[in-house]
Chains A and B, each alone.
Chain A
């Protein structure tokens, strides 16, 4: 079982719609969860972090975490063409102090004007 799984997409949504990106993880004791955006040929850019069950909102972005289901999602409201990118889910496992991140392969999002 892969440690962090994401649907590779592509996920295509019209401009102004809500994009929903999903991620599941295998290690039940994972503690911290992050969403990064990566444009083609560029580095990961942190969008959201979430540590507790429930929703966390930041502007047009909402991260949702359900530790019982080992599931984390990212909603992008009012999607814009500039949101077209690959979205990476990253997980920090428990234990230790180095906090390395384990990434999924990413979901390619295309927002059509």
Chain B
């Protein structure tokens, strides 16, 4: 069964460093998302991406964040200068989009630890 994959599973970085989190969405899906979950808190929407552009972003997704689909398979989230409060699980999700398919499927996540 097709699934969303994410790498790395765990990333440790120092405050102020840049990190890139990578995702490979399900191959025929058209809509891509990043969510994050701080330990003990709810899953929060960061950004949605369709047709090679951001379709919506949350207040969390400030100028330090960017997303890119550099090729036909990868979808990346970049944090330019990490802060301690960026420590969280980051989940990539994808949605087919055809025929009114609304279900989003999540990848296994990347645990980001900022020290």
Give every chain B residue within 8 A of A42 (Cβ-Cβ). 108-109
Shortest distance from the beta carbon of B56 to any chain A beta carbon, whole Å: 5
A interface residue count range (under 10 / 10 to 19 / 20 to 34 / 35 or more): 20 to 34
B45 at the binding interface (Cβ < 8 Å): yes
B interface residue count range (under 10 / 10 to 19 / 20 to 34 / 35 or more): 20 to 34
A22 at the binding interface (Cβ < 8 Å): no
Shortest distance from the beta carbon of A34 to any chain B beta carbon, whole Å: 7
Give every chain B residue within 8 A of A36 (Cβ-Cβ). 106
Do residues A99 and B95 form an inter-chain contact, with CB atoms below 8 A? yes
Do residues A99 and B91 form an inter-chain contact, with CB atoms below 8 A? no
By secondary structure, the B interface counts as strand
Shortest distance from the beta carbon of A25 to any chain B beta carbon, whole Å: 13
Q: Mark out the residues of chain B between 50 and 87 whose CB falls within 8 Å of any chain A CB in the assembled complex.
A: 50, 55-56, 58
Do residues A43 and B102 form an inter-chain contact, with CB atoms below 8 A? no
Shortest distance from the beta carbon of A99 to any chain B beta carbon, whole Å: 6
Give every chain A residue within 8 A of B33 (Cβ-Cβ). 100-101
A63 at the binding interface (Cβ < 8 Å): no
Shortest distance from the beta carbon of B48 to any chain A beta carbon, whole Å: 4
Shortest distance from the beta carbon of B61 to any chain A beta carbon, whole Å: 11
Which residues of B line the A interface, CB within 8 A?
A: 31, 33, 35, 41-45, 48, 50, 55-56, 58, 89, 91, 95, 102-109
Q: Could you jot down 6 A-B contacts, CB within 8 Å? A: A34-B104, A36-B106, A42-B108, A43-B106, A46-B103, A101-B45
